[in-house]
Chains A and B, each alone.
Chain A
Amino acid sequence: MSGRDVVLRKVRRALGVTGEEAARRSAVAERLKKSEPNIIPERGKRDREGRVALFREMAEAVSATVERVAASDDVPTAIARYLREQNLPAAFRAGADPAIGALPWDREPNLTRLSGASDGRDTVGLSCAIAGVAESGTLVLVSGPDNPTTINFLPDAHIVMLSADDIAGDYETVWQRMRERFGAGKAPRTVNLVTGPSRSADIEQTLILGAHGPRALHIIVVG
């Protein structure tokens, strides 16, 4: 008998079930189909501006930096300024996201944009988040050619563009949007929920920023 059959048989024997019970099967099928929320904290239940404000407050509380620009056309200049202020090189890596490609890069001719996945030699990465979660100041990033996952982790500094319209109050709203986008029961290879820059408290419980992921996380909220 395979390991699978042994373990499943042991589970069923322990529970005193056969696995054929109609009531159990429909309970499971229903739950998987409905994906109902359990309890959603009040904290995130605000209007659009309220969500943007809470997102910012929570992200800054975990040492991310947040700036807001009026329109996506302002993003290249915001990036150039941030890199200058942080003494970072005027070069970054980004994926093939059309939202990045469509920006007026000619306004900042000094910026160099490399494309594709990161091999660990980039100092700065740029990504587009599909959503923000106001409740905890969390970014939601999905893998694919548009935004390779390596860019979220390997560069020293990570800049993330996020549309103000995409800031949800809670995670549950984001899951629902993902189902609409990728299909029920499906998910991209990697989904990253990112709440602040990387850190470790493994040495005497002292919190230090910049472990294996980026040392700095800069979020540009658009709109």
Chain B
Amino acid sequence: MNLTADRFKDNVRVALDDDQLQRALTHVRSNFIERRAKAVDALPEFEALREAARAVKDHALTHLDLYLEAYETRVAESGGHVHYAETAADARDVILNICRKAGARTVTKGKSMIAEEVDLNNHLEAHGVEPVETDLGEYIIQLRGEVPSHIIAPAVHVNQDQVEADFRRVHTHLAAERDLAEPTSLLAEARGVLRDRFLAADVGITGANFLVAETGTSIIVTNEGNGDLTQILPRIHIVIASIEKIVPTLEDATTILRLLARSATGQDMSVYTTLSTGPRRPDDPDGPDEYHVVILDNGRTAMLGTEFQDMLRCIRCGACMNHCPVYHAVGGHAYGATYPGPMGQVLDPAIFGLKATHDLPNASTFCGRCESVCPMKIPLPKMMRHWRDKEFERGLSPAPQRWGIRAWAFLARRPALYRLATGLMMRALGNLGSDRGRFQMLPFAGGWTAHRDLPAPEGRTFMSAYRAKAQNKGRKT
């Protein structure tokens, strides 16, 4: 993965000037929000389900070691293999080894953000194994050499005419004069091209929305049927999932499933919810001969037991980014790390380190919409604040900001001095701004006044106004 979160501010400038992107983002602003609201309104138990789902995950997380053990026992009983990967590199190695042992040449992939996180495709390619993305959105961005800009709609930044151009560029074996003007013909073409790849693949790699301890089952959720073909056609099925995907029972998975599609796309259920358990059974006419699950840590155990543990409840529905004004303005690539939007602003620093990503927790207006729509009730803004604290503690925030905060802290601990200093400043600003009532430019406040005026203070601090009012009142009674 090409981490560019350290250039976040530059990325934002580029994104705001990108007309294609801005056109594509209008679909996020309208569709997702409306559809989710409708689906949520239609289910009276939605709120109660949120509470129940939170309880499921909190219980699973505080008993994670035991559920992992129960899960791996069940996987082994059904003939599958569990591999643990502490780091992204470990996960890549495990998967490449399985592919090599099988002599695999091509691998079809169901959509997996964990595979993106560990940068699996580049690794496979570098070692002679060709990965083929099969989710339409993932396929489009693979053709374009891009990474997903949204966790459930990876190509949401691409417009239809761009898809057409990409298909014409890559599918050169098809007639040049074919009609691709409609989205339906684009979809039909992708279906045809990918069907052959499905049937030829040696290995299928999917992610997992859940790992069910009760039965040793991995569950994926798709609308296209691509992950589902990936888990049934090739000789080997590899699942890659992070540790927090564990839930105790099928009932627990069900509770979360009732929230997932409604929060994501506004569907009651996605078209396909597929449960895979072990390899094919002796008399099964289809299904893989081998079933492997790679369970990834990659920074998550460091969140357990800390102020960031709640983030591990995330079910990757995407509602937080769909409702985020910052995401709406800049899209997903500007964040410059695997996970965009509010959930990424909390998760990326834990995975990729705060040093490279410390701008992300700051890219928020704290409007709180993400938390209010999050089906798992994750306090996203609060956790962004925790990262900001850490940013300050580790000296990663910009120098002027650090000095400013230090100077303020110095004054704030000395009330008399504080009142004197703020009183003088307010009087000065009040005098300066008294004619127009606002500033169009102000030293040290360029970040604000570049885009809007700063209202001029009236010349008194709150404290002095309050005191004057209290004295007035005292006189009257």
Interface residues of A (CB under 8 A from B): 2-4, 6-8, 10-17, 19, 24-25, 27-28, 31-32, 35-39, 41-43, 58, 62, 95, 116-120, 135-136, 138, 143-145, 148-150, 152-154, 171-172, 175, 185-206, 208, 210-214
B142 contacts partner chain A, Cβ-Cβ < 8 Å: no
**Of A11, A38, A214, which is within 8 A of B68 by CB?**
A11
Contact in complex: B251, A12 (CB < 8 Å): no
Contact in complex: A6, B84 (CB < 8 Å): yes
Contact in complex: A41, B228 (CB < 8 Å): no
Q: A25-B66, A95-B285, A143-B281 are in contact. List 20 more A-B contacts (CB 8 A).
A: A4-B84, A10-B297, A11-B68, A19-B65, A28-B248, A32-B249, A35-B214, A35-B250, A38-B252, A42-B45, A120-B195, A144-B283, A148-B284, A185-B74, A187-B275, A192-B228, A192-B275, A193-B273, A212-B191, A212-B225
> Can you list 11 A-B pairs with a CB-CB distance of less than 8 A?
A7-B295, A15-B64, A32-B70, A38-B53, A38-B252, A62-B268, A144-B281, A186-B215, A187-B216, A198-B272, A200-B223
Contact in complex: B287, A213 (CB < 8 Å): no
Q: Give per-residue flags for B45-56: 1 if the beta carbon is below 8 A from chain A beta carbons, else 0.
A: 100110011011
Report chain A residues within 8 Å CB of B70: 28, 32
Q: Is the interface of A mostly helix, strand, loop or mixed?
A: loop
In the complex, the chain A residue whose C-beta lies closest to that of B50 is A39
Q: Give per-residue flags for B175-205: 1 if the beta carbon is below 8 A from chain A beta carbons, else 0.
A: 0000000011011100100110011000000
Contact in complex: B84, A144 (CB < 8 Å): no
In the complex, the chain A residue whose C-beta lies closest to that of B159 is A204
B97 contacts partner chain A, Cβ-Cβ < 8 Å: no
Interface-facing stretch out of B132-140, B332-340, B357-365: B132-140
**Of B215, B226, B252, which is within 8 A of A212 by CB?**
B226
Report chain B residues within 8 Å CB of A206: 183
**Of B213, B280, B302, which is within 8 A of A189 by CB?**
B280
A44 and B36 CA atoms in complex are apart in Å by 21
Report chain A residues within 8 Å CB of B68: 7-8, 11
The distance from the CB of A145 to the nearest CB of chain B, in whole angstroms, is 5
The distance from the CB of B242 to the nearest CB of chain A, in whole angstroms, is 11
In the complex, the chain A residue whose C-beta lies closest to that of B257 is A171
Interface-facing stretch out of B4-12, B229-237, B437-445: B229-237
B24 contacts partner chain A, Cβ-Cβ < 8 Å: yes
In the complex, the chain A residue whose C-beta lies closest to that of B213 is A32
The distance from the CB of A54 to the nearest CB of chain B, in whole angstroms, is 12
B interface bracket (residues with beta carbon within 8 Å of A): 35 or more
Contact in complex: A208, B232 (CB < 8 Å): no
Of residues 249 through 279 on chain B, the ones whose CB sits less than 8 Å from some CB of chain A are: 249-252, 254-255, 257-258, 265, 267-279
Contact in complex: B276, A190 (CB < 8 Å): yes
Contact A39 B140, CB 8 Å, known A187-B215, A187-B217, A190-B275: no
**Of B48, B134, B194, B278, which is within 8 A of A39 by CB?**
B48
A14 and B64 CA atoms in complex are apart in Å by 10
**Of A7, A19, A175, A208, which is within 8 A of B250 by CB?**
A175
**Of B44, B72, B160, B267, which is within 8 A of A203 by CB?**
B160
A-B CB proximity, top 8 nearest: A213-B225, A211-B224, A202-B137, A14-B304, A10-B301, A3-B84, A193-B273, A191-B275
